[in-house]
Amino acid sequence: MDFRAAKLLIKADCIKIIKGNSVTNSIEHTDIVVIGAGFSGLYAVHRLRKDYAVICVEAGDGVGGTWYWNRYPGARVDIESVEYSYSFDKTLEQEWSWPEYFSAQPDLERYANHVADRFDLRKDIRLSTIVTRMTFDATIDRWNVHTSDGKHIICKYVVAATGSLSAANTPPWPGRETFKGQILHTTEWPREGIDFSGKRVGQIGTGSTGIQAAPIIAREAAHLTIFQRTPAFSMPSGNRPMDAEHEQDWKANYPARRQEMLSNYGVSLMTRPERSAHEYTPEEQRAILEKGWTSKSAFQLMLAFNDVMTDKAANDIVAEFAREKIRGIVKDPVTAELLCPKTYPIGGKRLCNDAGYYEMYNRDNVSLVDVATAPIVAFTEKGLRTADAEYELDIIITATGFDAVTGAMARIAIEGVNGQTLADKWANGPTTHLGFMVAGFPNLFMVHGPMTPGAQAQMITTGEWQVDFIGRIIDDMEQGGLSRIDATVEAEQRWADEVQSVSQFTIHRFADSWYNGKNIDGKKGGFMIYVGGFPRFAELCEEAIQANYEGFLRS
């Protein structure tokens, strides 16, 4: 029997999977709710809508997710745009042109809007709407989804494309309301921009975001004070206008390149090293590192030797090279030394990319304040107070990152079977099966969820892969006439063991970062990113499905 014809007539035959939305007693019914219209959410709408009715709920008043919210000055991707783009439509690949190698936020947002229009996705997307609460009704295997506009949607599946870097981390210092100036978080930047001219600006945070924003703000502001807790390693981004030959080369070779990306970290065209750092003389090491530094390929430095990420001694060689670069660029030796990371390995936190970040410290209107030794304690009427001084400011920018990976999901009141909430279940750290499902929360799938490769792989391409994988699971459910899929607690434990064990082989374990939740005071849990590589991740997912849905319970 055609599976669409056989679509479920399950426990409550009034609520069957329907290929089409309906409304009864002001409750809407649909097959799938997708949360988030970022790049993965947009593709989920496109992919799943082919066979099912879909409602996508998006908090922003536009599409693009990360590239909608993060419109701070300098926001730019650190993976080549020809790669960091959708693969699902061959015509789209050919018709779209990126003006630069590493696109800036406006171009990425423009691309997201183009895709939404081109594939007519908007009709199924509800903008400016937040999912506030979700409860699973185990008697009918349906999710009740409540949204900020007072709507109640009943659906069979939820696909959460909520993003792993979407819930802002706003440090909880007292006195925020007393500050007479303006406080901005980089991920909630006003569309109309900010005029920094003549202003005394303070920026807290020197991660990827802060490092991109600061040089641009410094050019405009009267004075920029950077409050740094931990210095980051950063290398020149190598951004430049796109050249026609490079674009044509990609367009002619997309199928093979996309394949190559999936057998890698979602990126191709990186020269993979074959030899250990220890196989080279210091002079040879230096020559290789110089080449990496000027490679114009964001992370080539980390690929100088095959053991940079696994051997502390090899890593130290690269880290010292990067510190020498900082000392060579920054003229004031005290500032240069403060900017040199010494407490964790290079690559232990995600390597940053910049356009003139270190050079910026040679400007007269920029100063660096070390808030590791004298932490920020409060906002004041005039600015910020640290343990040993007060700084007068007109604008304070918090480039303080995210309650990453779990934050967006844990902030929604999600109640699974037996009334347990997801926030409670994850109170001591996230648990998932293959990063897609959480035991006790049936029919709920996550894209780029906790314990997937996340930002350790290229998010658009691997996001498409994950959406397709979820689509396959749903198709199998429908073809099999099933109503519920859940993960087992044992499978969650096995996956947690796998995630922890692969992380022990890498130097990530020596760094506190959003990868392990240690960027936020009191956040519990271990390593939240799968660093065993995307190919192995995909292989393990495939194996679970092939082994009759090992680790899943289907009924």
Residues that bind ligand N01 (CB under 6 A): 76-78, 165, 171, 204-210, 212, 229-230, 350, 353, 371, 376, 399-402, 455, 514, 519
Token digits of residue 411: 């902030």
Render 498-534 in DSSP notation, one character per residue.
HHHHHHTTSGGGG--STTTTTTSTT---S--S--S-H
Phi-psi region of 366 (alpha: psi -120 to 50; beta: other; left: phi over 0): beta
- The terminus-to-terminus CA distance of the chain in angstroms comes to 20
Q: How far is the CB of 354 from ligand N01 (least distance, A)?
A: 9
CB of 294 to ligand N01, least distance (A): 18
The type of residue at 251 is K
Of 129 and 208, the one with the shorter C-beta distance to ligand N01 is: 208
Indicate the burial class of 198 (C-beta count within 10 angstroms; 0-12, 13-18, 19 or more).
exposed
Measured distance CA(311)–CA(505) in Å, rounded: 9
Residue 143 tokens, joined: 């999710």
Complex with ligand N01: residue 421 or 519, whichever CB lies closer: 519
Q: How far apart are CA 92 and CA 118, in angstroms?
A: 9
Closest residue (Cβ) to ligand N01? 207
Phi-psi region of 57 (alpha: psi -120 to 50; beta: other; left: phi over 0): beta
SS3 at position 158: strand
Give me the least distance between CB of 267 and ligand N01, in Å please.
12
CA 240 vs CA 70, 80, 161: distances in Å = 21, 11, 31
Q: How far is the CB of 293 from ligand N01 (least distance, A)?
A: 17
Is 508 within 8 Å of 537 (Cβ atoms)? no
Query: Three-state DSSP class for 517?
Result: coil
Give dist(CA 520, CA 146) in Å, integer. 29
Kindly state the greatest CA–CA separation across the chain. 76
